[in-house]
């Protein structure tokens, strides 16, 4: 296998791209005051689009169309961490945008309520 790979003119990353099924957001961090309130707002915003939810490591939401996201609280910092995968970059961007909008709205609400 390694000998065959060594005969290729393309880098490994190019070869692997042929097999990558999903686009990914990478980890996105939000500084939050009330992480659970942010998660609740996000889940509410997706409403009927949610196909399944798993609470094993934070909350993982399957949107049933090949898209999913995971939100989890940091154990050491006031951060909410988001990871999204979908079949296209546009779908990833759409989910990231919706989650970001809900988190930012909740952060603004929390900030206004604490002053």
Nearest to 83 by CA among 105, 61, 54: 61
Mean pLDDT of the chain: 90
Domains and CATH numbers, the chain: 25-109 (3.30.310.50)
pLDDT at residue 20 tops 80: no
pLDDT bin (cut points 50, 70, 90) of residue 114 is: low
Measured distance CA(46)–CA(32) in Å, rounded: 20
Higher model confidence: residue 1 or residue 108? 108
Q: Which residues pair with 79 in a beta bridge?
A: 31
pLDDT at residue 94 tops 80: yes
As a whole number, mean pLDDT of residues 97-110 equals 94
Residues 68 and 60 sit within 8 Å (Cβ to Cβ): yes
- What is the reported pLDDT for 113? 65
Higher model confidence: residue 1 or residue 98? 98
Query: What is the three-state SS of 45-85?
Result: HHHHHCCEEECCCCEEEECCCCCEEEEEECCCCCEEEEEEE
Nearest to 91 by CA among 55, 58, 49: 49
Measured distance CA(91)–CA(65) in Å, rounded: 10
pLDDT at residue 115 tops 60: no
pLDDT bin (cut points 50, 70, 90) of residue 6 is: confident
């Amino acid at each position: 296998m390694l000998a065959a790979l060594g005969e290729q003119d393309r880098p490994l990353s190019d070869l692997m791209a042929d097999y990558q099924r999903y686009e990914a957001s990478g980890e996105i961090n939000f500084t939050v005051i009330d992480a659970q309130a942010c998660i609740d707002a996000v889940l509410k915003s997706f409403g009927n689009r949610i196909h399944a939810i798993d609470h094993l490591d934070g909350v993982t939401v399957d949107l049933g169309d090949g898209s999913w996201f995971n939100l989890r609280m940091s154990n050491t910092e006031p951060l909410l961490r988001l990871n999204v995968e979908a079949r296209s970059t546009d779908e990833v961007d759409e989910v990231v945008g919706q989650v970001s909008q809900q988190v930012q709205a909740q952060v603004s609400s929390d900030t206004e309520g604490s002053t």
